[in-house]
Amino acid sequence: MTASTHDLLANAWFVLIGLMLAFYVITDGFDLGVGILSLFTRREDQRDQIFASIAHVWDANETWLVVLGGALFGAFPAAYAALMSQLYLPVMGLVASLILRGAAIEFRHAARDKRGWDLAFGLGSLGAALGQGVVLGRLITGLAPGAGSLAFVAAAALGVTAGYALLGAGYLLKKTGGALARRARGWVGASLAATLAMAAVLTAFTLFFSDLGRQRWTQPGAIAVLAALGALALLAAGWIVYALFVGDRRGPFRGALLLFLASFAGLAFSLFPNLVPGRLTVLQAASDSTTLVFMLLGIGFAFPIMIGYNLYQYHAFRGQVAQAPHS
């Protein structure tokens, strides 16, 4: 195949992997968020509602992470090797956290004393969110060492955690009722403030201190695109605040999804054509054309099935979960 065909295939896989990551963040993000928020819930009946709200969707949500890892390994093996060699500990911590929360979900219903499994679920959710934030921060800094990079990674970990809590709070607000829904309304406001604060910190750091900001954001037209996405993110934040003010139960979750999608689009735009800033571009990291075509045929079959299954399960379990009698 020609070089232009290979370039097209490599860029197409960059887009596909971006879509997989977006699907994972907006699906598994909210159930990680409700797990984090369960740590702030003392009443067992409210934790029962929290578990019931995600019982039928959490495992399918995590499928996107498995597919994402396989796609990155096959389509961009050089990037996979570079990232895994540097991020082994946070990735293994992420995997262990997901295993812990999965075990908690499965075994909680059979336990006489549920408090231990409830704590494991919450800590597993928190560990997974922090792990993903560390991976994101290290990726944006190009795996660079130093105190400045460490501070950015810490801010990214807190930002991802706050964002997932925002998604989780919005999801609980629309899926539950009674005292838990009232608490979720407060969690939406608090997590939105934390998410916006961390987003401002990360944006300022990227703009003034990172190679990504100096190289990509200073290109002609880049600031205009990022400003438009930033305006969309602020509009989403305003939607959340307005929905809380008028008592719209579904608006905060929809606004949080829009906020995440705008932020994710800004990240993808900032990274391209890099996969690991300062180290590997999309073309440098890509597999040969034959491999990319073979994988494209496979994902072309699997992608519609996965999306269709996700849409069906959310439609089938679209109602509110039942409230405990004494809530």
Q: Give the residue extent of every domain in the chain.
A: 3-316
pLDDT of residue 324: 56
Average pLDDT over residues 114-129: 92
Q: Which residue has the tokens 């307005």?
A: 242
CATH number corresponding to 3-316 = 1.20.1630
Confidence of residue 141 (pLDDT cuts 50, 70, 90): confident
**Length of the chain as a residue count:** 327
Beta bridge partners of 280: 276
Q: What is the band of 327 on the pLDDT scale with cuts at 50, 70, 90?
A: very low
pLDDT of residue 210 exceeding 80 = no
- Whether the CB-CB separation of 137 and 154 falls below 8 Å is answered with yes
Residues 6+ apart with CB under 8 A from 243: 250, 251, 252, 254, 255
Query: What are the residues whose beta carbons fall under 8 Å from the beta carbon of 317, sequence distance 6 or more?
Result: 56, 57
pLDDT of the residue at 271: 82
Tens of pLDDT along 26-59? 888 898 999 999 999 888 888 888 988 888 888 7
Give the model's confidence band at 125: pLDDT under 50 very low, under 70 low, under 90 confident, else very high: very high
The mean per-residue pLDDT over the stretch 168-190 comes to 91
Is 89's pLDDT higher than 50? yes
Can you tell me the mean pLDDT for 75-83? Answer: 90
Distance CA 192, CA 293 (A): 42
Look at residue 138 in the predicted model and tell me its pLDDT.
Answer: 87
Structure token pair of residue 299: 């994902």
What is the spatial distance between Cα 59 and Cα 55, in angstroms, rounded to a whole number? 8
Q: Does 209 have pLDDT greater than 70?
A: no
The string of pLDDT tens digits covering residues 274-303 is 888 878 889 889 999 999 999 999 888 888
